[in-house]
Amino acid sequence: MAGGGFTDDGNLKRAHLYEYNITSYFIFACLVAAMGGSLFGYDLGVSGGVTSMDDFLKEFFPKIYRRKQESLTETDYCKYDNQLLTLFTSSLYFAGLISTFGASYVTRIYGRKGSILVGGISFFFGGVINAASVNILMLIIGRILLGAGIGFGNQAVPLYLSEISPAKHRGAINQLFQLTTCLGILIANAINYATEQLHPWGWRLSLGLATFPATLMFLGGLILPETPNSLVEQGKLEEAKKVLIKVRGTPNIDAEFADLVEASDAARAIKHPFRNLLLKKNRPQLVIGALGIPAFQQLTGMNSILFYAPVFFQTLGFGSSAALFSSLITSGALVIAALISMGLVDKFGRRAFFLEAGTEMFICM
């Protein structure tokens, strides 16, 4: 647990007294933090495209390349049936899963900013190793580092954005993570479409460019403010006040600060938070909110479709360039949907979007 539970609007007893201005300092903090989404999105988009490139397959998976060139009686999808290729793709997500446990500790004890910095560093080195890979072992090591970076970033960034944003705009600001994720996917697909023409090293450029957003996130993270919530959790009350004043652009932050302190005290009073989640009164929130909704969102297969989109399109008979271009169209639709969501989520609420999205996905599928 990252300890950010007291950002919930239900704990904002004095919300009607809150004052804020949208300052340049606040905008900068949000943009830097949201770069974590672009890291996740870029890798999600770039890896699927790279695994469909002939130059990449020739160097690391020659058997798959030969299958692609041969006229086989099996389905086109079976041509990609390879355990090492599966290891290449899945190692990132397994590393991301394991790293979330370490990220939880760092985020809670050392703050959201600490996890953002660790994520940026790990992603940078993962991108460098992948771009310089000469064997599958280097590819896997690079993927593990990328996964660790995603594990830290995906936990800290949404939490950071929620805690740094004014309560009235929290939904839209938190959606910055989704928007930058979608933009990362779109940019990755555009880069893949271009680098696919650069023989035989285009795939290295695609993988290596992941270091660019990682560098921006790390350098920006060095001057990011820690969130007031995290500072209150750490007992740094005066520093938390100063940051809240700077982020909100007004000295009148007493009401919001009092709510933060009260919520932090209430959270600290729970001696065994994980055990508390299993209490009967908390089971609906745990099963439906914490486990059910995220799990079913993943089980729709949307991430798999995005990751393997170029391969899917190729198995349907598209050429390599056409498959990459089709993926570009899909990721463009993602960006448009994220922008619509940002503009409307605070007006209609989160529940309305769950219902709308579920209905839309059911019809489309």
Give the CA count within 13 Å in the CB-facing half-sphere of 93. 11
Q: Is the pLDDT reported for residue 75 higher than 70?
A: no
Distance CA 143, CA 90 (A): 9
Kindly report the CATH class assigned to 24-224+301-364: mainly alpha
pLDDT at 1 exceeding the cut of 70: no
* pLDDT surpassing 90 at residue 137: yes
Q: Where are the alpha helices (DSSP H) in 70-135?
A: 83-109, 112-131
**Better pLDDT: 28 or 314:** 28
pLDDT value of position 7 = 42
Q: What is the pLDDT of residues 153-211, one digit of tens each?
A: 888 888 898 888 888 888 888 888 888 888 888 898 889 889 988 888 999 999 999 99
CA-nearest of 216, 180, 172, 220 to 38 is 180
pTM: 0.80
Query: Which pLDDT does position 71 carry in this prediction?
Result: 55
Q: Which of 340, 37, 312 is nearest to 188 (CA)?
A: 37
Count of positions (residues) in the chain: 365
Q: What is the pLDDT of residues 318-331, one digit of tens each?
A: 777 777 777 788 88
Residue 267 has pLDDT above 50, yes or no: yes
Answer for the pair 48, 41: CB distance below 8 angstroms, yes or no.
Answer: no
For 260, residues 6+ apart whose C-beta sits below 8 A from its C-beta are 6, 228, 229, 232, 240, 244
Q: What are the sequence ranges of the domains in the chain? A: 24-224+301-364
**Most confident by average pLDDT, 40-44, 149-153, 278-282:** 149-153
Q: Are 89 and 43 in contact (CB under 8 A)?
A: no
Residue 77 has pLDDT above 60, yes or no: no
Residue 140 has pLDDT above 90, yes or no: yes
Flag whether pLDDT at 8 surpasses 50: no
Q: Nearest CA to 119 among 203, 43, 228? A: 43
Q: Phi/psi at 253 (nearest 5 deg)?
A: -120, 10
pLDDT at 268 over 70: yes
Type of residue found at 305: I
At 149, is the pLDDT very low, low, confident or very high (cuts 50, 70, 90)? very high
Query: Where is average pLDDT lowest: 69-73, 246-250, 268-272?
Result: 69-73
Tokens describing residue 108: 């809670």
d(CA 140, CA 60): 12
Place of tokens 């389905």: 75
> 141 burial class (0-12, 13-18, 19+ CB within 10 angstroms)?
middle
